Amino acid sequence: MRKLLIPFLIMTVTVIMFSCGPDVRQQALKNAEGSMNIGHAYLISGDYTAGLGKLLEAEKVIHDDPYLENDLGLAFMAKERFALAAKHFQLAVKLKPDYIPARNNLGTAYMEQKKWDSAIACFKAISGNLLYATPHYPLSNMGWAYIEKKEYRLAEKNFSKALKLSPEFTQAIHGLATVYIKTGKGYHAVNFLNRKIKKKPGAVILRADLAKAYEMVHQFSDAERSWQTVIKLAPGSGPAQEAEVHIDKLRSMQ
């Protein structure tokens, strides 16, 4: 019961403070900004529950800060409350239309809700912005949205653009390899991945992609070696468990 009384007490004190004059209002704003900063620090450290609590506390006083709304969106994303996250990202963009990270985050929230067209619209709006330091991120995100829509030509186009800007961007490499595999271009995938893995030998996801590509072109011994590398690089992980299933299947075929 005591816990239920605390929010009421806080709310009551807030109402009183805002009726007392400019000095008290200024102190309330200062306290809210402190909560906002603490909440942001919690997010950076990975403590999303504590971060969300502090950010919601700040939002009771601060109603027009796009950075606060973006942080709230990130906190709700971490909690897998994607619809709520999208609402806060939308507000961040409304308050600051040139806030590109918030727009990219909004696109990501739409993807989590399988709203592919809405996500693509967000990513398109920022991918050509010359002031955005990392345009390969929205381009790659757009590629993944097009994969979900089974529009593989457009997916390939966007992943290729991302790789021109950042040739070693793992998610775009993984994306383009996925396009090749899904469209039956096994040898394209093998050659492409072998080139990229020379510079990223520890990229587990790319090793798994290569194993699948080898399976597609019936190079089963190479596929098993690639799956073994996945297990060696990330023992006990999800990809390692997938590798064990594939290895058992490959051995049963011999």
**pLDDT confidence of residue 29:** 86
Q: Does residue 17 carry a pLDDT above 80?
A: no
Which class for 240: exposed (0-12), middle (13-18), buried (19 or more C-beta within 10 A)? middle
Cα 18 from Cα 44, distance rounded (Å): 31
What structural domains does the chain harbor? 7-113 (1.25.40.10)
Q: Which two three-digit tokens encode residue 142?
A: 């757009």
Residue for token digits 């403070």?
A: 17
Residue for token digits 């011999």?
A: 254
Lowest mean pLDDT among 128-132, 154-158, 214-218: 128-132
**pLDDT confidence of residue 16:** 36
Which class for 128: exposed (0-12), middle (13-18), buried (19 or more C-beta within 10 A)? exposed
Mean of the per-residue pLDDT values of the chain: 90
- Asked whether 143 and 151 are in contact (CB, 8 A), the reply is no
The DSSP secondary-structure symbol of 251 reads H
**pLDDT confidence of residue 178:** 98
Q: Does residue 21 carry a pLDDT above 90?
A: no
Nearest to 142 by CA among 154, 130, 132, 134: 154
Per-residue CA distances from 100 to 71, 142, 164, 191 (Å): 14, 15, 21, 35
**Percent of the chain's residues with pLDDT above 90:** 82
Per-residue CA distances from 248 to 98, 180, 224, 243, 251 (Å): 52, 25, 9, 9, 5
Long-range (24+ apart) CB contacts under 8 A made by 159-164 are: 161/127, 161/136, 162/135, 162/136, 162/137, 163/136
* Dihedral, 72, 75, 76, 82 alpha carbons, nearest 10: 100
Instruction: pLDDT band for 20, please (50, 70, 90 cuts).
Output: low
- H helix or E strand, kind and range, residue 201: none
